[in-house]
Amino acid sequence: MRLIARLDVKNEWVIKGIQLEGLRKVGDPLELAQRYYEQGVQEIVFMDAVASHYDRSNLFHIIERACRSVFVPIAIGGGLRTLDDVSRALDAGADKVIVNSAAVRDIRFVSDVARRFGSQCIVGSIEAKRLPAGGWGVYVDNGREPTGLAVLDWVAQLEDAGVGEILLTSVDQEGTRRGFDNDLVEAVHRSTSRPVIVSGGYGEPAHLRSLLGRVRPNAVAFAAVLHYNKASVADLHALLAEGMGETA
């Protein structure tokens, strides 16, 4: 089970909020990436938090610089709309690209990326919110815009289109440090053969124990607890190892 550091970037700064709103600056993305790499994270995700406003990614130069001294897989998301965008991201040094809005607009984009670059390099990002009638809906634009898609149906479409992994973010729990949406994670994990990366909600060891007592995702992405020094990478590795021993 991989331990991933997630860095949401806006205007050259890593930012953090609650439920993807009320964002505040927390540090320099290159400094944080270097720190987490040296502490032992196994992967780093860079997400452009404002790409939807500009319809492009602004992270290529950051990825290029990070790759000079960070030697774990790097994924980049936000504002990747075309095959040329994906090519630029990979040329900058990213190992994977993360797509959300572009896939919702045209699922064929996922298939095109998978055919040209391989499924191993494309991650389908899902921003999920609980629906009043039950289940979860797919959102875009940092959880602001509903798509009308049901999460489990969308997972199946992404898998059929060729994504290599699913990045699952619970908008309801993201940044709250109140725990993961275990029901959501379990439902998605059981519905797909693709690796699932869980993001959103960790605040204390009990949250991870609760999640891993029900389901074993392929990776967990952490943000606020690392940025605010609420937990160390070593602490999180120990919890993940403990959970691996408890869950079949």
pLDDT at 248: 38
Model confidence at 152: pLDDT above 80: yes
Query: 222 near 4, Cβ under 8 Å?
Result: yes
SS3 7: strand
- Given a cut of 50, whether residue 245 has pLDDT beyond it is yes
Q: What percent of the chain has pLDDT over 70?
A: 94
In a 3-state reduction of DSSP, which class is residue 141?
coil
Question: What is the arithmetic mean of pLDDT over 45-50?
Answer: 91
Which position among 127, 165, 174, 181 bears the catalytic label?
127
The residue to which tokens 């619970």 are assigned: 170
Does 2-246 carry CATH code 3.20.20.70? yes
Spatial neighbors of 8 by CB under 8 A, at least 6 apart, are: 14, 15, 16, 23, 47, 49, 223
Please confirm, yes or no, whether 127 is among the known catalytic residues: yes
Q: In which band, very low, low, confident or very high, does the pLDDT at 247 lie, cut at 50, 70 and 90? A: very low
For range 224-231, the mean pLDDT: 92
Pick from 10-19, 65-74, 116-125: least confident:
10-19
- Split at pLDDT 50, 70, 90, the class of 20 is low
Which is it for strands 145-150 and 136-140: parallel, antiparallel or unpaired?
antiparallel
Name residue 128's beta-bridge partners. Answer: 138, 170
Residue 196 has pLDDT above 50, yes or no: yes
- Domain definitions of the chain by residue range: 2-246
Q: Check residue 57 and give its pLDDT.
A: 73
Q: What average pLDDT is seen over the chain?
A: 92
Given the residues 8, 48, 159, 165, the one annotated as active site: 8
Q: How far apart (Å, rounded) are the C-alpha atoms in residues 120 and 168?
A: 17
pLDDT tier at 44 (50, 70, 90 boundaries)? very high
